[in-house]
Amino acid sequence: MRLIATILALFVSAPALADPVFGEWKTQSSAMEKYAGHYLHVRFEPCGSKICGKITKVVGIEADIIGKAIIWDMNALEDGTYTGGKIWPPDRGGTYASKMKLQGDKLKVSGCLVGGLLCESQIWSRL
C-alpha cells in the first residue's frame, strides 16, 4: 500500500515539478516615487499542489523581506496562465487577488481588486 501511494505521488507531482514558471525572476522597478529604482528577485517553486513565489533578493532599498512569500496559491492552466493566487506587493502593502501570464522569458503579473476588474500589472523578466 505504501509503495502504491509513493508511486502515485510521483506521477501526480511530476507535472508541477516541470512547470515553466519555476525559477528566478526579476520584477520591474516600482512605479511609486518613494521606491523608484527598487526591484526584487523572486523564485517560483511548488508549494503543495499550487505555485508560490518567494523574495530572494532586494535591490535599491533596505528591507528585511528575503524569504517572504510575495505570490502564493497560484493554479497553473495549460495555456501559460496562472489564476486564483494572491500577491503581496511590498511597496503597497495589503494582499490582492493575482493572476499571471507566461510569454517566453516574460511574465505578466497582476494584482487585482473588485473581482479582477481593476488590475495593475508588471512585466517580470526571467533571470
Contact 76, 19 (CB under 8 A): yes
| Domains of the chain, first to last | 2-126 (2.40.128.520)
Q: At a CB cut-off of 8 Å and minimum separation 6, what does 5 contact? A: none
User: pTM higher than 0.75 for the full model?
Assistant: yes
pLDDT, tens digit (0-9, with 9 covering 90-100), for 100-118:
999 999 999 999 997 767 9
User: Which CB contacts under 8 angstroms, 24+ apart, belong to 45-50?
Assistant: 46/13, 46/16, 46/17, 46/19, 46/22, 47/72, 47/73, 49/16, 50/74, 50/75, 50/85
Supply 82's cell numbers: 496562472
- Rounded-to-integer distance, Cα 25 and Cα 35, Å: 19
Q: Which residue did the predictor score with more confidence, 110 or 92? A: 110
